[in-house]
Amino acid sequence: MQVLAKKFPSAAAVTIMDLSVEAETFGSPVAFYEDDVPTVTSKIVSDQKTVEALAIPELEAKRCGVYLEAVRLAAEKINDRPTFGGMIGPYSLAGRLFDMTEIMMAIIMDPDTIHLLLEKCVKFLTAYALAFKKAGANGLIIAEPAAGLLSYDHCHTFSSFYVKQIVDAVQDEEFFVILHNCGNTKHLVSSMLSTGAKGLHFGNAVKMSEIMPLIPEEYLAFGNIDPARSFRSGNPQTMFDQTWELLASTANYKNFVLSSGCDVPPYTPIQNIEAFYAALDKFNQTYFRK
């Protein structure tokens, strides 16, 4: 994080987003790879009985403590920009514990069980968010990609309602929460706004030119260069052109913040990242001269 902060003019320093961490802390089995992110391999709850028996873990269990220590060190050593922690959202965590396909059926067939599971997820995630704040983070990114698979009503009921509880517990004038959902979220914007998170982060499944008119001026909206096809598999020229095009399409919105649409993958050519920032710098010089 410190090396990246020195090399690139990012608006903030952010921890690695690993969506297996919290599930592993609950007891989920996780597969580790040399050149890819860890992955949850199987569910650990399947019905009301197993959800009732599921214990809410301590924050120090497994790898959560490592991320909290990373934020503490980053906040201590990176002094020219804010430091953000990152964690999974409640519905996305519940899906890893229950199985993503099965939870989609259970929210219809057995919603009470899923609400109980979500209550346990939120209790843990709220404590985790408060721990990031205590460790010195200036904000938090909550990654809730699984909610992008839901209808508006289900997103509101099984995701946004619970995200709001976390936001209400931690966000204030000195701690900023960003809600990330990289799904096809155009129909979910008002539900995402209902969480109270002051920043909304969008994936490349949507067009920011269509999203920005839906975002009130007092909220920030982040997005959304394709992390796989552009950052990882593109070249510096295509990255520059796509970044410029996105900036041009959102230039009238002061609350737009340029970003990748999701995590930048391993083995992304450094030249592509440099082209991303070069396009931003040149665009600002061209369009926003005093």
What is the domain-level CATH number for residue 56? Answer: 3.20.20.210
Q: What pLDDT score does 60 carry?
A: 80
| Each residue's pLDDT tens digit, 9-61 | 999 999 988 999 999 999 999 999 988 889 999 999 999 999 999 999 999 88
Q: Specify if 222 maps to a domain.
A: no
Residue 15 lies in a domain: yes
pLDDT greater than 70 at residue 290: no
Provide the pLDDT for residue 17: 87
Distance CA 70, CA 138 (A): 13
**Domain containing 78: what range?**
2-202
Which pLDDT belongs to residue 259? 98
Domain presence at residue 55: yes
The encoded tokens of residue 90 equal: 């409640």
Q: How confident is the model at residue 282 (pLDDT cuts 50, 70, 90)?
A: very high
Mean pLDDT along residues 252-264: 96
Angle between helices 90-98 and 100-109 in degrees, nearest 10: 100
**What predicted TM-score, i.e. pTM, was given to this entire model?**
0.96
12 occurs within a structural domain: yes
Residue 36 included in any domain: yes
Model pLDDT for residues 67-121, shown as the tens digit of each residue: 999 999 999 999 999 999 999 999 999 999 999 999 999 999 999 999 999 999 9
| 259 domain residue, yes or no | no
Q: How far apart are CA 221 and CA 39, in angstroms?
A: 28
Please state the domain count of the chain. Answer: 1
CA distance 168 to 248: 34
Q: 98, 128, 121: which is closest to 110 by C-alpha?
A: 98
Q: Is residue 289 part of a domain?
A: no
Angle, vertex CA 268, rays to CA 221 and CA 8, nearest 5: 60
Look at strands 83-88 and 30-31 and give their pairing.
Answer: unpaired
> Is residue 146 assigned to a domain?
yes
Pair 255, 217: CB distance under 8 Å: yes
For the chain, the residue count is 290
